[in-house]
Amino acid sequence: MAENPDHCSYAELFIGGRWRKPAAAERITVISPHTEEPIGQVPAAGDEDVDAAVTAARRAFDDGPWPRLALAERMGKVADLAAIYGRHIDGMADLITAEMGSPRSFSRLGQAAGAASMMHLALAAARDFPWVERRQGVLGEAHLRRAPVGVVGAIVPWNVPQCLIMPKLIPALIAGCTVIVKPAPETPFDALWLAELVEQAGFPEGVVSVITGGPSVGEALVRHRGIDKIAFTGSSATGRRIAAVCGEQLKRVSLELGGKSAAIILDDADITKTVTGLKTASLMNNGQACVAQTRILVSGRRHDEVVDALATMMSSLRVGDPSDDATDIGPLVAQRQQQRVQDYIRSGQKEGARLVIGGEDSPAERGWYVLPTLFTDATNDMRIAREEIFGPVLTVLTYEDEDEAVRIANDSDYGLAGSVWTADTAHGLEIAAKVRTGTYGINMYMLDISTPFGGFKQSGLGREFGPEGLDEYVELQSVLCNGKLPPL
């Protein structure tokens, strides 16, 4: 591929490990969320490109060397990729900031460095993973072998793009799968740059493809009979549709979907520390985080104090150019997203919640900005309490006692994340056991990329990270023997 120093202009797709001209002439123009000016273009793949990528991946899986290499050799190649990637963390962070407006303070650590760590942690998990084991069965000793699941289609959204590709691509590659990555049309550049790095690492033909495009490209991948497994992150609505197609074809599927997480502030919590913790837990990445703690549950006894402290913290946040290191809140990814968040703010007011700070007016003449916005006097049946807003908007709900707090936290279609803030961590653990979410924080909410992550209820199926993240890319084969098995 030709020199492309800023990684913002691609004429070709990465199909089967080679740069190829797309079948169709259609292009995607990426618009800067800060300036509203175009920043570059990529091809929009067509059905023929999807088919070419799947055919290459199928051939590489069925007949190529990759799944047949020794595990150590595959891990060595992934480690080469991790080493190359590690040299580009700052550049990758800046590219993601340009594409989707994540403040640089977040995109360094929470996007690019996080993605690099995911590669190393997946390699570490693979070292201890039980690829083969022996078990005493009723008929004799059984040999259990974990085989690669096959050709994987990895479909991701735009909010933390590299951190969503890595927990799919890397464990799949280590397991011996071949992979086709489909990024969101808002963030194609980071994925195509990753393709360049994959090319430099030198994977065998067909093992990795990156094809850019919108929902129709994702849909074509999901429907393609050559794919064995879809690994998807995105909205619950799309996840439901993908699961239906996969169900019809009995294709493996894992889903990381939306959330509407509740932060329960108990009466014994230190409010200053709690609000400092919520600054990140609720508002990271401009509030565009599936795990954002956006329902703030507080008792009537401490309501005013918490609302005042939240309002002070949120008004002090610096809103502006995401490439400025001092910025806390950048623009939302797209005008469509800004309008969606503004619509939620209007609906909160219409439904009778009280706007404490912020509002629907954009603070800038240019760029898709929304001010940090705080609602209180809300009830859990309002749209701002039930639906995922995906912007810097928090809703305070009041509870009478802890049972009611837990009931409100659980009264949600989602079950992705949650947190409790208390002076008594043992009690925090008791609260965690009552809340139906895949991850939980006591006096914090951060995602630990070495522990299993995924959702209860409509927040998904399956887990990423740790050995459980590898489980998603293997099929378990039991081998029985009429005679003695050789030692392992």
- Residues in the site for ligand NAD, rule: CB under 6 A? 155-159, 164, 182, 184, 214-215, 218-219, 222, 233-235, 238, 241-242, 256-259, 290, 388, 390, 416, 455, 460
Nearer to ligand NAD, 227 or 306 (CB): 227
Of 196 and 219, the one with the shorter C-beta distance to ligand NAD is 219
Residues recorded for the chain = 488
Residue by residue, DSSP assigns 387-407 as: S---SSEEEEEEESSHHHHHH
For ligand NAD, the closer of residues 172 and 405 by Cβ is 172
Distance CA 10, CA 97 (A): 18
C-alpha distance from residue 274 to each of 154, 177, 314 (Å): 36, 43, 13
Contact call for residues 66 and 60 (beta carbons, < 8 A): yes
Tell me the two tokens of residue 224: 């393609």
| CB-nearer residue toward ligand NAD: 112 or 257 | 257
Q: Provide the 3-class DSSP secondary structure of residue 446.
A: coil
Alpha-carbon gap, residue 249 to 262, rounded angstroms: 36
Side by side, the strands of the sheet bearing 141-148 are 132-136, 141-148, 474-480
Burial 4-19 (b: 16+ CB within 10 A, else e): eeebbebebbbbbbeb
Q: 65 vs 72, 178, 337, CA distance in Å?
A: 14, 11, 44
Residue 447: CB minimum distance to ligand NAD, A: 9
Active site residues per annotation: 256
3-state secondary structure of 480: strand
Residue whose Cβ sits closest to ligand NAD: 218
**Cβ 187 to ligand NAD shortest distance, Å:** 9
Task: Give the shortest CB-353-to-ligand NAD separation in angstroms.
Answer: 22
Residues 6+ apart with CB under 8 A from 143: 132, 134, 478, 479, 480, 481, 485
Helical ranges in 224-324 per DSSP H: 236-249, 271-283, 303-315
Q: Which residue, 167 or 428, has its beta carbon nearer to ligand NAD?
A: 167
Q: Which residues of 330-360 are buried (b: 16+ CB within 10 A; e: fewer)?
A: bbbbbeebbebbbebbeebeeeebeebbbeb
Amino acid at 178: T
For 149-218, give the DSSP string: --EEEEE--SSSHHHHHHHHHHHHHHHT-EEEEE--TTSHHHHHHHHHHHHHHTPPTTSEEE----HHHH
Contact of 439 with 416, CB cutoff 8 Å: yes
Tell me whether residue 28 or residue 147 sits nearer to ligand NAD (CB atom): 28
Q: Which is nearer to ligand NAD, 451 or 478 (CB)?
A: 451
Shortest approach of ligand NAD to residue 363 CB, angstroms?
23
Q: How far is the CB of 464 from ligand NAD (least distance, A)?
A: 7
Q: How far is the CB of 5 from ligand NAD (least distance, A)?
A: 26
d(CA 181, CA 213): 11
Residue 169 CB, nearest distance to ligand NAD (Å)? 14
* Residue 251 CB-half CA count within 13 A: 26
Burial (CB < 10 A; 0-12, 13-18, 19+), residue 381, is: exposed
State the nearest-atom distance from the C-beta of 468 to ligand NAD, in Å. 14
Q: Measured from the CB of residue 153, what is the shortest distance to ligand NAD in angstroms?
A: 9
Asked whether the CA dihedral 233, 234, 239, 245 is positive or negative, the reply is negative
Nearer to ligand NAD, 101 or 218 (CB): 218
Nearer to ligand NAD among residue 223 and residue 434 (C-beta): 223
How large is the C-alpha radius of gyration of the chain? 23
